[in-house]
Structure 1
């Protein structure tokens, strides 16, 4: 049985050794005595799929939204600081 780290190392080795020499991943797995189907399943399970999207409309950024967002963010920060009883750090936290 191959662990996550074993398959991760194999993939890194493939990118460093196999890709530059033009070896397919199937051939690389075979030469390293790793069943390709296990590698393929690990790869599918651990890699996030990238889905292309097209942005049609960008919402306008208005000043009213910014003010309400910053007010809300600062209120949350004050609440967190009050919860942890750190009033002396409040001015530092809000300016960050």
Structure 2
């Protein structure tokens, strides 16, 4: 079985300190995803105010089982860290090197 990946894009609110927001995400939100079964989470800064998060799951079932809890984490990212979700892609890995 191949891993399952989610790629989400995020934007820090106008006037919000990017580094402070990302510190909260790194220290609180990423461990929560790991606790839900994610095997790896990588956050990439894509501009002054945006990031992409690549989350690897062992399989689609693990990710789907965690759906409600993931939504709760996303609400906290939005309300407490002042970062909003701008997009999401997901799917099974079909090739890797």
TM-score computed with the length of structure 1 as normaliser: 0.25
Larger radius of gyration: 1
More helix by share: 1
TM-score computed with the length of structure 2 as normaliser: 0.25
